[in-house]
Amino acid sequence: MNHQREPIGERVFGALLRLYPTALRAEHGEEMRQHVRDLAGDPRFAGRPLRLWRHLIGDLIATAVPARFHAAIDALHQLNERTEHPDSGEQMDMLLHDVRYAFRTLRKRPAITLIAVATLALGIGANTAIYSVVNAVLLSPLPFPDPDRLVMVWGKTAGNPQAAMSYPDYLDMQQRNRSFSDFGIVRPISVNFTGTDAPDRLVGEFSSANVFKILGVHAALGRLFTDVESTLGTEQPVVVLSHAAWSGKFGGDRGILGKTLTLNGRPMTVVGVLAPGYEGIYGSVELFLPIVYYNKSGLQRGAGTMFTFARLKPGVTVESARRDIVSIAKQIETENPSTNSGQSAEVVTLRENLVGGSRTALMTLLAAVGVVLLIACFNVANLQLARAAARRTEISVRAALGASRQRIVRQLLTESVLLSIAGGALGLLLTAVMMKFLVANLPANLYLATEVGLNTRVLLFAVLLTLGTGVLFGMAPAMRSSRADLSGALRDRGGRGLGRGGMRDGFVVAQIALSTMLLIAAGLLIRSLVSLQQVKPGFDMKNVLTMEFRLPPTKYNTPEQMTAFMLRATEEIRRVPGVTSAAMARGVPLSGNSGSIGYLAEGKPEPKPGDAPGALANATTTGYFATMRIPLLSGRDFAETDTRETMPVVIVNEMLAHREWPGGSALGHRVRAVGDTVWRTIIGVVGDAKHIAIAELQRGQIYTPYTQDPSLFSTVVARVARDPMSFGPPVRAAIWSVDRDQPVWKIRTIESLAQRSLGQPRFMMMLVAAFAGLALVLAGVGIYGVMSYTVAQRTHEVGIRIALGAHAAEVVRLVLRRGMVLTAGAVILGVVGALAATQLLASQLYGVSQRDPLTFVAVPVVLGAVALLACWLPARRASRVDPVEALRSP
Amino acid sequence: MPRPVPLNDLPPLTPVVMHILLALADEDRHGYAIAQEIERLSEGAVRTGPGTLYGSIQRMVKAGLIEETRRRPPAKDDDERRRYYRLTTAGRRALETESARMADLVAVARAKRVLRGTNAPRPA
């Protein structure tokens, strides 16, 4: 922390101390200041002023009110005992008086009060609901001990800043690093569970024993496995169950300890059950196995499939850990050039890994909903101004009778705060409803550190927001009205008040400008979602059923066995009535299963290590492209005659073919994967297909035939005539007809995967559009209110004009012109603001420019129309003024 | 249920009060040291901010559970801005009574199998 800032911080805290009762301040104020100085020097807070202030303010809020309450009770006691010290008691009385008076005033104008409360409730409710999500994702500490010292270590290549690790690389880093007090590794992957009535797949996690320690996980039953049991050479076939799996699938049987489960075809002994709560860092893991039981080929150097967690030693920063790890990665690269050339490493905090990706989106939402509240505040401030104008006489009388300005401001502020408290209370009800909606629609990939709910922090936020809101919209009107000109106001009862137009106009301009910005943001997000939905994925996702399975390595341990299974199973599936075509692929689009490789094209200059171009790699059986309706542009599909004995072949996509051999044919050229020695001949070129996400930039793709490149894991794709999900059971039965023990899972359609991949953009769009709609309504109400008020104020003038022969149309024009001038100015401001603000949206947009002309034209038009309507209603009323009535009224 | 000292008019102590009493049980401390000791004893779970701490201290001094002490640490460690607190006899008695009450409760909880085996906390 720098030295200039401390005194300011202390001064602010000194001022905040005034929130406490005098007695406490007198007795312990100096100690409290010293306490804050101590905290500022504490290693936990040093250099983290935000964190310190969060701690202090939280404490202040939690304690100041109770302390005041205690002091007030004490004071009342003392008052009763006729002792001195009337100070707090009197203040209490004054407050009670103000509150009672405010209640009466607010009740006198129920309609305005109701509108104000409803407006605030919407604003506060929506803000609290969004905050509850932000809190659960970004602000809550991760549910692990001392979570800020947890990091993940990743491999790093030119094409992939966060690549999974290989086990030997991890072991080297574990031995050589000087940065971590603990360093563990996991490989979450499905595990086949057999030996029971129906073969099942469980979500497993192969892990080193110290991961439990790093993440602070304990056993509720039995024990965890040990370092010895998870180390090569001394490994033991043991397994630990998650609490959920134990109490669910295993029936909560306490006698399970010591029993044997057949997992991936190998007997493993249950030694423990975890305490509830932890199910692997990414959730839903059902059992934990020692890392070394992961299949042998997966433990080789170069097989990057694992995630690592480490705890920084005290005093080690992420930056210095990164330097340490990068230099070790360099040593490993030198020692293992064939597998590790071009590979570096990266250290990232666990928090950043889990929630970093959602930060921008959530902050955008928070900003949007904050703007809605701001607009609501302007609306209520305007209502208050109008009300205060109507009460000028009353205020002047009170001032004349000797009320100080401070006293009057306080009275008016009490009203505002009372309004906002009513709004806040109603808002909390709305929050509960909105939260249900939010939770039901949260994107599936959002990491929640705690549940989204009305917890203490969220409630605290709502309370702060409510009080802050009350002061925010109440301050300006209160200051303004308390400056009442005594004599003038008393003489002219409820006169023109034109001088006050400035502030009101300012509020309306601000509202419309902010609404413009929100509407433009919403417009861009809607356009973005529409263009996402129109993206041509390169395959036909209608009526395609998929399901996944993984062959147990103990049973299928040769390539021939794997290939034989794939071919027979595919054959059986094709025979199911209603299935028009079927195939297998290692990963189908949008399923989350994908692989990428660096590749070299034969005859091209060899790129520097790490600079090889990248491509998505996939393996398929014959008929995959036909089933997915990915067009075969030239050459041929794989055939069952492409075997391990014949020429190695690949199929590439159009983009890769064009990139490597522009203008010519790719057929007959050969490519090789980095780290592989085999050159494979291109026999076909197929159309581009999206794979990881609909919104991705098209990448090069290389397909190998299953018959030459088999694997244990595979996905079935079956095109059917109709209603794909109804084909789940017969297709699964077809697989079981080949191997009754083979579990399958994730039976789903590609269409459902596409829907899921649009989850986050749809969520964003829905919310921002809802907020923008709300903002539009509020701004409409705002401008309507101001124009109505102006018209009412000018009834006298309008009456004279009409009496002197002005036509209704002229009066309407007069009123409209003023409204439209305000609107035009505001919209221009809003558009300029939006041009700046949509920079923040850029990363959320797809297929639409952040300066999309359509949106930037349409929004002002819509706003103009709404403003026109909002002005026209009062204008028409003005044109119908009866001159006699108008002139007779004072 | 037998109780060592009848202190019937004392309501169950709040967790913060209890923590402060515990922090002062073995040593006189100044405010910040109390906060640090509480954090250490609770393994970081309880963090008392200044308002919580001194609000409680004020009430506890008033209730006669703790008092300011004149005895200061050796001059080299001393900071004259600090005020040191210690348990009064009543404070020590309250701490003992409350601890005994809690121990009784835990015994009941164990007997009713609410609290099972060793403690197996969730990842906090």
CA–CA min distance B41, chain A (Å) = 16
Handedness of CA A413, A415, A420, A425 (dihedral sign): positive
Pair type for strands A680-686 and A649-653: parallel
What is the reported pLDDT for A489? 47
Taking the Cβ of residue B3 and every Cβ of chain A, the question of whether any pair is shorter than 8 Å is answered with no
Residues A730-772 have pLDDT tens digits of 999 999 999 988 888 888 999 888 888 787 788 888 888 889 8
- How many Cβ contacts (< 8 angstroms) between chains A and B? 85
Contacting residues for A339 by C-beta, under 8 A, at least 6 apart: A166, A301, A302, A675
Q: Is the pLDDT of residue B121 over 50?
A: no
Judge: A59–B57 Cβ closer than 8 Å, yes or no. Answer: no
Nearest to A594 by CA among A689, A688, A692: A692
Tokens of A824: 């035009």
What is the reported pLDDT for A483? 66
Contacting residues for A161 by C-beta, under 8 A, at least 6 apart: A154, A346
**A55 interaction partners in chain B (CB closer than 8 Å):** 47, 49
Are A613 and A700 contacting, i.e. CB atoms less than 8 angstroms apart?
yes
The conformation of residue A797, written as its DSSP 8-state character, comes to H
Of B50, B58, B83, nearest to A36 by CB-CB distance is: B50
Tokens of A572: 């059986």
Are A759 and A842 contacting, i.e. CB atoms less than 8 angstroms apart?
no
Residues A382-418 have pLDDT tens digits of 888 777 777 777 777 777 777 777 777 888 888 888 8
Handedness of CA A438, A441, A447, A450 (dihedral sign): positive
Enumerate the β-bridge partners of residue A180.
Answer: A312
Taking the Cβ of residue B49 and every Cβ of chain A, the question of whether any pair is shorter than 8 Å is answered with yes
Residue with the two structure tokens 């996400």? A693
Taking the Cβ of residue A606 and every Cβ of chain B, the question of whether any pair is shorter than 8 Å is answered with no
DSSP H helices in A135-281: 167-176, 210-214, 243-247
Are A21 and A88 contacting, i.e. CB atoms less than 8 angstroms apart?
yes
What is the reported pLDDT for B87? 92
Residue A593 phi, psi (nearest 5)? -95, 115
Helix, strand, coil percentages (3-state) for chain A, rounded to 5, are 55, 15, 30
Distance CA(A428)–CA(A422), nearest Å, equals: 10
Buried b (16+ CB within 10 A) or exposed e, A336-366: beebbbbbbbbbbbbbebbbeebeebbebbb
- What pTM, to 2 d.p., does this model score? 0.65
Buried b (16+ CB within 10 A) or exposed e, A252-288: eeeebeeeebbbbbeebebbbbbbebbbbbeeebbbb
Of A31, A58, A278, nearest to B31 by CB-CB distance is: A31
Q: A501-533 and A853-879 are packed helices; what angle lies between their axes, rounded to 10 degrees?
A: 140
Buried b (16+ CB within 10 A) or exposed e, A108-127: eeeebbebbbbbbbbbbbbb
DSSP H helices in A534-598: 559-574
Taking the Cβ of residue A219 and every Cβ of chain B, the question of whether any pair is shorter than 8 Å is answered with yes
Report the largest interatomic distance among the alpha carbons of chain B, rounded to a whole angstrom.
Answer: 53
What is the reported pLDDT for A27? 86
Residue A188: what residue type? P
DSSP string for A283-305: S---EEEEGGGS-GGGGSTT---
Of A24, A70, A217, nearest to B54 by CB-CB distance is: A24
User: Can you tell me whether residue A548 is helix, strand or coil?
Assistant: strand
CA–CA min distance B4, chain A (Å) = 32
Predicted complex ipTM: 0.81
Give chain A's residues under pLDDT 50: 1-6, 82-86, 486-500
Tokens of A804: 């002197």
Distance CA(B122)–CA(A731), nearest Å, equals: 41
Nearest to A120 by CA among A389, A426, A342, A354: A426
Ramachandran quadrant class, A251 (left: phi over 0; alpha: psi -120 to 50; beta: rest): left
What is the reported pLDDT for A81? 53
What is the reported pLDDT for A838? 83
**B53 interaction partners in chain A (CB closer than 8 Å):** 35
**A30 interaction partners in chain B (CB closer than 8 Å):** 81
Nearest to B124 by CA among A451, A137, A143: A143
Q: Select from B14, B30, B32 the residue whose CB has the most chain A CBs within 10 Å, as the one to mutate to test that interface.
A: B32
